[in-house]
A and B are shown apart, each in its own frame.
Chain A
């Protein structure tokens, strides 16, 4: 317990001390919100789909969480490069506790980042369907944060340095985002794309967020929560296993 707490705290401290990281990770979601939200807005409306800012806001929140979470997970590579990783590797505590502490810490940071974006979308004109659904939205934000921090950590355990990072961004994180229903409705998609979007765990997070914030649900809450929860557990377990196999 103490181990989990101290490693969770470490992630928060590192985050709160790097202002540039905080501000830097706001840029991309903001760009999407403004460029797409307002740029595509008119077309989207002409197609009879309603207000695009209203549609895209949950997706942009999910995006900011996704990016921050994966990046927090990947931070383990910095630890390897700067040497701190060895301190945790030889520590007489369970690998699962180390993984949990790190992942919860990274997820908290990502959740916080998501909240900032949430506030920004509201400033930009987004209005949730009902304010009573906010707690439900938080549940999904937390689950997205947890899942993708665990994913980032697991991946980082098998990478030696940051050189693989662009590959992960371009071939994993970006596709996860674009195929998640964050930018377009999942309803009535042609076959192959429909299947792919269903294989993307982020789809279930975005769906839950849409359900809570805009009232349109493609799957269902239990399905969304179950999928996100189970995949998070599996990734945590895989991460702990990969972590225990690191040699330096």
Chain B
């Protein structure tokens, strides 16, 4: 039985003259785990932003659990949770305060709020540091907190945009086990991006390869390998996207970080 929860048809996003996402169409079924793989600047984050009400497509149509994120924003927002690729914590608050703020914004009932916050902070190994200001955290600790925060409410769809950047292997495995458990037990649909082939292969039912704003192919990792007559997913990925290193090294995330570094040193206090 087909039960589509995310769909995109003919979606294009232009920034000025530059086409970041070019006539992309795909569907994700309820309860599925889909991975978006693609070189830097391929358009993965831009696609996620269009699905999560942060950007409006230039043309084409997206749908999230029957709602159009571009127009029925509130309805769309109630369906998902997200780990952004870029930082999104309030540095001036403690870990606990960040969690509580999120719990209120997503109206997590107060009886499960406390236990779930503790469970998740323990899960990412931050319970001892719950009252420390986030600005005192290391990069990996911030990332773990963002992950814990995104799991606080249990949405229908979970978007994970390179959730494992900067994480040690232990935490990475831990995270994927948890995500798979949520997917299995609560039927949460997961839309993830990553640059680690083995993660995609392990977790995702289907993998979409995207390059230059276009989806090259979509299928299970077996299908991708068969299609390209290669032995590993990495070889399949390289066969589909070529070996050239992308020039757009400074993606939006990197510029963000440069800004942060700049402001962090000079401007603030």
A-side residues, CB < 8 A to B, are: 2-3, 5-7, 10, 13-14, 17-18, 20-21, 79, 81-84, 86-94, 161-162, 244, 247-248
Contacts and interface: CB of A to CB of B under 8 A. Distances in A.
B87 A83 contact: yes
A44 B100 CA distance: 54
Contacts, number: 84
Interface residues of B, number: 36
Nearest to B87: A83
A168 to B, nearest CB: 16
A87 B102 contact: yes
Contacts of A5: 104
B241 interface: no
Interface stretch (B29-37, B47-55, B124-132): B47-55
Interface string B231-269: 000000000000000000000000010011001000101
- Most chain A CB atoms below 10 A, which of B101, B133, B263: B101
A92 B91 contact: no
B163 to A, nearest CB: 15
5 contacts: A17-B92, A81-B260, A87-B90, A89-B54, A90-B52
Nearest to B77: A92
A228 B85 CA distance: 42
Contacts of A3: 104-105
Given A88-B105, A94-B74, A18 B92 contact: yes
Contact of A248 (B49, B93, B102, B269): B49
Contacts of B90: 10, 14, 79, 82, 84, 87
B269 A86 contact: no
A10 B91 CA distance: 11
Contacts of A90: 52-54, 77, 80, 82
Contacts of A161: 259
A86 B269 CA distance: 23
Contacts of A79: 90
Contacts of A83: 84, 86-89, 256
B176 interface: no
